[in-house]
Amino acid sequence: MAKFIAQIKHPGTTGNTLQVHADDTLIPFRTVSAFHKIKFSSFTSPNSKKPEIVDAVHVRPEQQDSSGRTVPSRFDTVLVRSKDSDPKSMHGPNGKSDRIQMTLDQQAN
């Protein structure tokens, strides 16, 4: 998260300089609230009055069903293109593919 913030605050910065800014970024919290389901909507035609849901992302921690069996966790993958990224590539402005991994702790259950 610090690297993402540093990239926004210092556009065009790459490599070691970006890492120095990321290391110097204060994040004043230890946990982040997350949505467990995100819906993406769009107006499908110019005459649409109401947006239509075009995609959804699900995050679900491992849990037990009513019979006590373990239901595995589910974490959908999302690709996010920033305004500085190449639309033909999955790489960011620094030429690298950045990845954010989020996990749910037991408090989220």
Q: How far does the chain reach from its first CA to its final CA, in angstroms?
A: 23
Residue 3: phi and psi, rounded to 5, are -65, -40
State the pTM of this model: 0.38
**Tens digit of each residue's pLDDT (9 = 90 or more) over 15-53:** 899 899 999 988 887 776 665 777 888 887 888 888 888
| Confidence (pLDDT) at 80 | 65
* Residues 74, 104, 78, 51, CA torsion sign: positive
Alpha carbon distance 93, 82 (integer Å): 9
| Confidence (pLDDT) at 105 | 47
**Mean pLDDT, residues 73-83 taken together:** 73
- Give 79-83 contacts, CB < 8 A, sequence gap 24+: 82/7
| Confidence (pLDDT) at 82 | 63
* Secondary structure E strands in the chain: 37-42, 52-60, 63-64, 70-71, 74-75
**Mean pLDDT, residues 61-69 taken together:** 90
Residue 65: phi and psi, rounded to 5, are -85, 180
**Tens digit of each residue's pLDDT (9 = 90 or more) over 79-99:** 766 666 666 655 555 555 544
